[in-house]
Every structure is written in structure tokens, then in C-alpha cells.
Amino acid sequence: MAKPHAVCIPLPAQGHINPMLKLAKLLHFKGFCITFVHTEFNARRLLSSLDDLQSSNDFRFETISDGLPPTNERGILDLPELVTKIQVDGQRSFRDLVTKLNHASSSDHHVPAVSCIISDGVMGFTLQVAQEFGIPEMLFFTPSGCGMLGYLHYEDLVERGYFPLKDESQLSNGFLDTAIDWIPAMKGIRLKDLPTFLRTTDSDDTMFNYNLQAVNIAMKAQGVILNTFDELEQEVLDVIKTRFPNLYTIGPLSLLQHHLSATDYLDSIKANLWTEDEKCLDWLDKRPRQSVVYVNYGSLVIMTKEQLAEFAWGLADSKYPFLWVMRPNLVDGGEEIISSLNFMEETKDRALFLEWGPQEKILSHPSIGGFLTHCGWNSTLESICEGVPLICWPFFAEQQTNCFYLCNKWGFGMEIDTQVERDKVEKLVRELMEGDKGKEMREKSKEWKKKAEAATTLGGSSITNFDVLIKQLKQ
């Protein structure tokens, strides 16, 4: 009997590729042949940071076009153009790929016909292709459940007159502090805590409408997968299930992967768009337990030179050692600030800067005492898995929603003001590392770590839901 063949296609951004790759490996472990789809641009980037994409007969990589020219850098400011172009060029290219895979299956016994498609929740244009070929498709939304619930209420924001904003002044006059008391399971939430694409006066805003369209398309899929666990977001998930009855919560995927024992071969398959620098682990080995602040703002966030300087000097003035992942495109001209003589003098022997690092290994290192983060969902879950408390500086999308839940519901996050000031950074770092609030957060994060472990071990909610998902996909 032919193996089931799953085609897995993430949005072409690091924070979407990583969880989709984890899910693909788990499906492979359960007997699926996998075709993992990168964009042509990202495949070229991956080959420059890795020697090989590690394709094999039953775990292969294919590419589609994203419709953008090679000169486009695909940064955060290019997202509207990317999501516009990929719906047309990506869909056409994806249709050609499915045709090619099914054609190959008739002549090559190593390539079974495509039996299911797992598409990123915001790559819903693939659903039309799936329907044309009669292939069942499930959508994997990579945000948190609370972030997803925020997007599910975008239509209500339009109907109730919150979107679009009446004028630009509403961005700064306190209007965003308006309490939104009509969303079930989101008690206490304000307009500014909902996914940020609503912050515009343009009713045709690309990103707002793209995300609104994505959740509406999802209604037509066979099911929705979320990288979260029931114990963390039960109230929110109960509401989402009223819209998506076939909801599979199977996270944290990194723990599920660990407990279901991936093979060495699968461990070797990576998809980092930057080269990981592991020398930091030796540096961490020389630091005392829970003494280091880890700083990483993810793969898309950009900041100003002024914000960078305030963060840098706040960390320096805290006197704690810190490990900072600073992508080359985090801030234009940031290296001048970091390499300035007095800053280097002030932080020598207690600061390390990397372009990209192995985040899960860093967070699991005993010397890490806290994490200054943008609150992306992958970073949040990875912190839960290691019991590490957070200082939150959310930037965009549903990061603000994650921050609200971290600080107000889950109890292991503290928010830093958007207008970064060094003395506030210093104060929060000290509170995190040595204050009473920091101790409380550390205890709370350990409790969540235990619950995440329980969810992904035998009899736990996520592993049970994963088994149901596998049965569904194999039918």
C-alpha cells in the first residue's frame, strides 16, 4: 500500500517555516512521505546558509514562485507586496507543482500521489488548487490561539466601526486604549492589544484584508491546526471551536517532536535563512546559572537607531551579562552604536552579539535567566518549554495579543513601553533577574513548563489530538 503523501507549504518567513518544518517531521515520523515547499528565493537563501537541503525519497523539497523580483529583500516592509503577488504567482506555481508530483507518482514508486495538503493558514490560496485536484487540505495557523481569535474578530471591527480608523490622530490620542468588552474569552483586552493590522485609516489596507480573508477561507478547509496546548488557552480555544469544530491543538511542537523521538536524519534537516552560530553555547558555559539575559527580536522586526541605543545602554547599565542575536537587517547602522568605543568598554567580558543563533539550545541553557523578546509565538512557546520568564516588546501582528496574555493571564511576562528608555530597560532587567516580580514570573514559567510537558507526553491533550489528526489525514 502506498504511503500517504503530505505537501507542506508555509508562508515564506522564518517564523512560519520553523513550525511547519517541525510538523512535517512529525508527519514523516508517522509514516508520511513529505514534500516541503519553499519559495525559489528562500531555497537560494537556505543553500547559502546550509550546504544541502537534505532531500531524500520520502522527505523532499520543492519550490514555487512568490512573484517578487530577485532584488526584493522580502523584509517586513515588503510583506504587503509579497502577500499580493503570491496569491497569483504562488497559486499558479503551486498548481504546476501538484500536477508535477501527481504525474511523477505514475512513473516513480518512490513518489506516491499527493493525499493531503497542509498549508499555512495565511496561504489559503492553495485551497482552490486542493479543491481542483480533489485533495483534502488542512490549514496550519502558526500564531497563538489568542492571536487567531483576534483575527477572527476583524470582521466585527469593521461592522462596529473600529476599522478603519477615522483619522491618524487615533493612533496617538488614547483611542487605541479603548476596552473591547464584546469578544468572549478576551476579558480586559483593548484595541491596542488586538493584532496590529487594524491600525490604519485605509479601508483597503492589504494586510488587514489579507488576514480577514485568511480566516474566512479557513472555514472551507477540512480542519485547522494550532501550535498551542489546551491547558494554556482553553477558554480561547473553546470559542475558536465554535467557528472551527475540527480544531487540532498539538503544541508545543518542539516538545511533541522531542517526545516522539525524531531520527538523526530528520534532526539534520534545517531551514534557517541565516547561518546559526553555535559558539555562543561555549560562552554561556562560562556564565553562572540564570545570570544571562537573552535578547532576540525575531526574524522580521526592525527598529530605529534610537531604540537600539536605548536597549543597548539599558542592558549595559543593568550590569548583567547578555547574549544578543542581532540580525544584519535589524536596524540600519546599528553596528555603529554597538561598536562605539565607550559601549564596548562598558560591556566587555559580559556581552556577546550574534547574527543568528540556535534559539532552542540557548533558552535551554542553565545560564539563561530571562529573555527580552518581541513576543513572536515561536519564541513564546520555546520560553514556556524551558521555563524562562520574559520582558516583552511586541512589534506587530499578533505579538501585542501574546504580550497581553503573557502579562495579564499567564503571569510570566512584563511589558516594556513602545517608546524605549534606557533607565526603564535597566529597571525591568533588574526586576526580571533579581526582583520579587521576577521570582514570581520564574515560578509561573516553571508551572507552565510542567503543563506543556504533560500535554505532549502519553495521555496528554496535544499528543492525543495529534493521534486524532494523523487518523484524519490518513483516511
Task: Enumerate the active-site residues.
Answer: 16, 120
CA angle 222, 223, 229 (to 5 degrees): 165
Cell numbers found for residue 311? 536597549
ω into residue 143 within 30 of 0, thus cis? no
Catalogue the E-assigned strands of 91-194: 116-120, 137-141
* CA–CA separation, 249 and 231 (whole Å): 10
Cell numbers found for residue 50? 546550509
* CA–CA separation, 391 and 48 (whole Å): 33
* CA–CA separation, 239 and 326 (whole Å): 38
Characterize 385-399 residue by residue with b for buried, 16 or more Cβ atoms within 10 angstroms of its Cβ, and e for exposed. bbbbbbbbbbbbbbb
C-alpha distances (whole Å) from 302 to each of 42, 77, 319, 327, 415 are 20, 9, 25, 9, 18
* CA–CA separation, 257 and 266 (whole Å): 10
Residues 6+ apart with CB under 8 A from 323: 280, 283, 284, 292, 293, 294, 295, 351, 352, 354, 357, 362, 368
Cell numbers found for residue 238? 473553546
* CA–CA separation, 381 and 253 (whole Å): 9
Q: How many Cβ atoms from other residues are within 10 Å of residue 361's Cβ?
A: 14
